[in-house]
Structure 1
Amino acid sequence: MNGAARAERVVTSGTFNLDGETFDVDNNVWLVGDDDEVLIVDAAHDSRAVHEAVAGRYVTAIVCTHAHDDHIDAAAELSVLTGAPVLLHPDDFELWSHTHPARKPDGELSDGRVLTVAGIEIQVLHTPGHTWGSCSLYAPFLNAVFTGDTLFHGGPGATGRSYSDRPAIEASIRNRLLTLPGDTVVHTGHGQDTTIAAERPNVPAP
């Protein structure tokens, strides 16, 4: 392992399209690793900007927290640029096909799967609700969890659109995320970081 393992944020801008509506969005793309290799969390909008931030390091995988188009629109091109496989939970394959009809993900995320990069382990937590295949990525070594659009600064991510469910996202957060140590840093898909402890009051009790 060369240099301390860490999480680096790259902010990209583009659009989010679903159910006939389009919104301008800024996305957080996360590079998790060290000076030699990284894992990419969510390939959003601008494959060139993300590839530039990789800066020649080996990319172990492009991991999709979910398949909304603003989180995967650069995945196919970034996979070509880096040679890395794209990983997604199979419950989001249908949603993925709306953005990439001619290209399937290269591998499946599953609850409990452990990914390794730069000598550290990242645990896949299936956290459905924002979409059915939404996953969070817990990195104990970094004391951090990457939640995509499942948990934000201020509480649960959006539901009310296709492929989403409010009770499901709240249950996922309560059962899979709020049980993590309170000082765990939450790296989100949009906006600023938070902590598990800070978000506990923002998630309704069952």
Structure 2
Amino acid sequence: MKTKIFFIVIILMVNLYPQVREIKSLSFLKKGDFEFNIGTNIGLGIPKKNTTISNLSYDDSLYHKSSYSSDNRLFNLILTASVAYCIIDGLEFEPEFDLNLLTDYDISVTILGNILYNFVIPGKRVIPFLKAGYGLSNLFSPNSEYNYGPNTEKSDNSFNTKVFNAGIGLKYFYSSETAIRLEINYSNHSGSYVFSYDYSYQTGTRNTEIVMNSFSICLGFLILL
């Protein structure tokens, strides 16, 4: 009986050895690697808007100035695509393109430059990472809010919104070249614009400053090239 158990143990060890050796030989995110990512972010945006209105009334020739603020909650759906390059083992530079689909705002795009550090553990398929980045967006524009009147000055939809981006997440490599990427993300959008108008009864400007903090969860798929 002992002899049979001994031979069974030997057979199991022989069968497991190639698998253990394969796991130990796995090497991810080495210097010179390229990584292509696509994903979807779902989350909540919290914008705060401060507006100052200055106008001249034609009826009484009086100059008026007022200000107000508002905030609300927005549902965020963001489609992302990026290509990362490993500068050194574990450290990546990642240009990112986002298509923003937010309630109460027009469709917009964001272009980011991210730095990622991957905590690569030899032989492990799960890799934690940290991310931080900065970029520009055309998210905040008067087009979607003030698009009426005969003499309105509409925005050129330029990239005048500044974006700070940060995240923490995991990459799970289920093969040597493909992985699932899960990330918790924070972003800060800040911008301002001036909207001018000229109606039959008054003329003036609206100066608006907006800051939006967003929190989201991203699920994506990556390929090592």
TM-score (norm 1): 0.22
Which is bigger in relative contact order (C-alpha 8 A, separation at least 6)?
A: 2
Q: Select the structure that is richer in helix.
A: 1
Higher CA-based Rg: 2
Q: Select the structure that is richer in strand.
A: 2
TM-score (norm 2): 0.20
